[in-house]
Amino acid sequence: MKTKLSDKKNIAILGSTGSIGTQALDVIRANKDAFSVEVLTGNGNADLLIKQAIEFDPNTVVIADESKYQYVKDALAPHDIKVFAGNKAIAEVVQMDSIDMVLAAIVGYAGLESTLSAINAGKQIALANKETLVVAGDLVTKLAKEKGVNLYPVDSEHSAIFQCLAGEFHNPIEKIYLTASGGPFRGKDKTFLSTVKKEQALKHPNWEMGAKITIDSASLMNKGLEVIEAKWLFGLKPEQIDVIVHPQSIVHSIVQFTDGSMKAQMGLPDMKLPIQYAIGYPNRMKSDFPRFDFLTHPQLTFEPADIKTFRNLALAFEAMHKGGNAPCILNAANEIAVAAFLKDKIGFLQMSDVVGNCLQTVAHIAKPSYEDYVETDKETRRIAKEFLNF
């Protein structure tokens, strides 16, 4: 096993070939004195994973797609890097003693098992996988508290709330406002949305993200998932969370305290900033990221979210209020719906129909166990596929 310098923070990046993972490596590349890459995992992009491994020289690499194991192993044979394959291997390697922090950036439900495994091993978590808390927030937060593990949010909105709370953790929150850009279809009606194609939905006005999260942003499901995540991250009641549309994406979120005072965190829309804040916490590390200039943004505007047209946000609030396994149902149904939309099998508005149907059809469990979450996810996906003939 390679020895790492003790003054560096050893990071495991789960999902290193995705949008968050590649940007995290940009941050680490610019701060080599502060961070060392201990583990890299990717899903199916073997060539990029190999390239990253050769550059960052981790202890271990895991490719989730087991059919590409030999290809990755052969490519990294000249290097002193261990190679494993499969999701079970990801859940195992995060428990390595040499890891200081795990950046959980695997997209969707698939990231839950490895994140729970890392928490069980007492690893600090930089959480970019919002679905982990959406699906099993009660389970995850209880385990983190039990193991003394901090969850550092990477989502720009939750990072903003976390930054606003610095020095204020003893002061009660009255309310938080998560900001949403409104996506590419802000202000559009259902008639317009009934004809949109995935190419239009994938053109986000402000952020560069992976396909799944970009579609979620266009449908406002991403904001719905963030609402549920915020509930668990900050120990809030549903009525303490609101969403406002802020098209410029400069104010990343707002905290309102019981005295009426409000704090907002601002900056240009760049995910590298919240990534760096999470993995470098409690220090603010110097960066060469572009700076916000008020004179180039003379107006910052805010408006209510249109939950009648964009039903996904309303469905997410409904699932959060219902609790139990309802958010797990919401997430699983949405993952199937987005996959179908990206394959041109259904229209944009039908995604909400899939989610709404599953929330009504799948049995509600008020206090689910981990096994209940696993079964709920499986059953919801089956019902969603039947509903779509997908």
- In terms of phi and psi (left: phi > 0; alpha: psi -120 to 50; beta: otherwise), the region of 309 is alpha
Q: Is 260's pLDDT higher than 50?
A: yes
Distance between CA atoms of 335 and 108, rounded to whole angstroms?
Answer: 7
* pLDDT of the residue at 377: 97
Reported for 370-379, long-range contacts at CB under 8 A and 24+ positions apart, including other chains, are 370/116, 370/136, 370/139, 372/325, 373/112, 373/135, 373/136, 373/139, 373/325, 373/328, 376/325, 376/328, 376/329, 376/332, 377/109, 377/135, 377/328, 377/331, 377/332
Distance between CA atoms of 234 and 382, rounded to whole angstroms?
Answer: 33
- Residue-wise pLDDT for 304-343, tens only, equals 999 999 999 999 999 999 999 999 999 999 999 999 999 9
Is residue 267 within 8 Å of 250, Cβ to Cβ? Answer: yes
Using DSSP bridges, classify how beta strands 151-153 and 251-257 pair: parallel, antiparallel or unpaired.
unpaired
Q: Is 5's pLDDT higher than 50?
A: no
Q: Is 234's pLDDT higher than 50?
A: yes
The pLDDT > 70 percentage for the chain reads 98
Q: How many CB atoms are located within 10 Å of the residue 126 CB?
A: 29
- Residue-wise pLDDT for 96-131, tens only, equals 999 999 999 998 888 999 999 999 999 999 999 999
Tokens of 381: 């996906």
* pLDDT of the residue at 246: 97
Q: Chain-wide mean pLDDT for the chain?
A: 95
Q: Which residues contact 58 (CB under 8 A, 6 or more apart)?
A: 37, 38, 39, 40, 81
Distance between CA atoms of 75 and 51, rounded to whole angstroms?
Answer: 9
Tokens of 233: 């991250």
Residue where the block lists tokens 């087991």: 66
The arithmetic mean of pLDDT across residues 190-204, rounded, is 93
Q: Could you tell me the CATH superfamily of domain 9-153?
A: NAD(P)-binding Rossmann-like Domain (3.40.50.720)
Q: Which residues contact 2 (CB under 8 A, 6 or more apart)?
A: 57, 59, 80
The pLDDT > 90 percentage for the chain reads 93
- Residue-wise pLDDT for 55-77, tens only, equals 999 999 999 999 999 999 999 99
- Residue-wise pLDDT for 339-383, tens only, equals 999 999 999 999 999 999 999 999 999 999 999 999 999 999 999
Q: Is 6's pLDDT higher than 80?
A: no
Tokens of 107: 């997209």
The arithmetic mean of pLDDT across residues 221-242, rounded, is 97
The CATH code of domain 159-384 reads 1.10.1740.10
What pTM did the predictor assign?
0.92
Sign, CA torsion 259/241/104/219: negative
The arithmetic mean of pLDDT across residues 222-239, rounded, is 97
* pLDDT of the residue at 2: 47
Is residue 94 within 8 Å of 114, Cβ to Cβ? Answer: yes
Where are the domains positioned within the chain? Answer: 9-153, 159-384
Is residue 253 within 8 Å of 164, Cβ to Cβ? Answer: yes
- Residue-wise pLDDT for 7-54, tens only, equals 899 999 999 999 999 999 999 999 999 999 999 999 999 999 999 999
- Residue-wise pLDDT for 280-309, tens only, equals 999 999 999 999 999 998 899 999 999 999
* pLDDT of the residue at 108: 87
Is residue 300 within 8 Å of 248, Cβ to Cβ? Answer: yes
Q: Is 273's pLDDT higher than 70?
A: yes
Distance between CA atoms of 134 and 53, rounded to whole angstroms?
Answer: 31
Where is 286: in which H helix or E strand?
A: none
Is residue 58 within 8 Å of 40, Cβ to Cβ? Answer: yes
